[in-house]
Amino acid sequence: QVQLVESGGGLVQAGGSLRLSCAASGRAFSRYTMVWFRQSPGKEREFVAAIHWNGYSTYYVDSVKGRFFISRDNAKNTVDLQMNSLKPEDTAVYYCTADVKVRNWPPMNSYKAYEYWGQGTQVTVSS
């Protein structure tokens, strides 16, 4: 079982930046692909970014490429999401999750493929 706690959300103006962090429990963290999703009211949870357990391979949804950057620290069991040039359409609750089934890369982009979720952190971008 994996416990996940997200932090770092807040209110920011369009064009601004935020850095989200996810702290994970468990000794197997370094074996898992870690993934960020987001969910806006009335919409399905959307894949945002993922990082391979090796820390080098990353994968982004097209809408955030070049603006968001995912990183991880396996020694600290954390995964971060640096979000730059934020837009109002980035407003959502952001969640992290872990691919505990250790599937092949690239990662599954459906939220239904993942079992464990944190409580989420709200990101609001004003225009």
pLDDT digits (tens, 9 = 90+) for 57-78: 999 999 999 999 999 999 999 9
Q: Average model confidence (pLDDT) for the chain?
A: 95
pLDDT over 90 at 1, yes or no = no
The residues near 6 (Cβ < 8 Å, ≥ 6 apart) are 20, 21, 22, 94, 95, 96, 118, 119, 120, 121
pLDDT over 90 at 33, yes or no = yes
Are the CB atoms for 90 and 22 separated by under 8 Å? no
Higher per-residue pLDDT: 66 or 106: 66
Q: Give the pLDDT confidence score for residue 27 in this predicted structure.
A: 80
Find the mean pLDDT for residues 11-26: 96
Higher per-residue pLDDT: 27 or 50: 50
Are the CB atoms for 37 and 94 separated by under 8 Å? yes
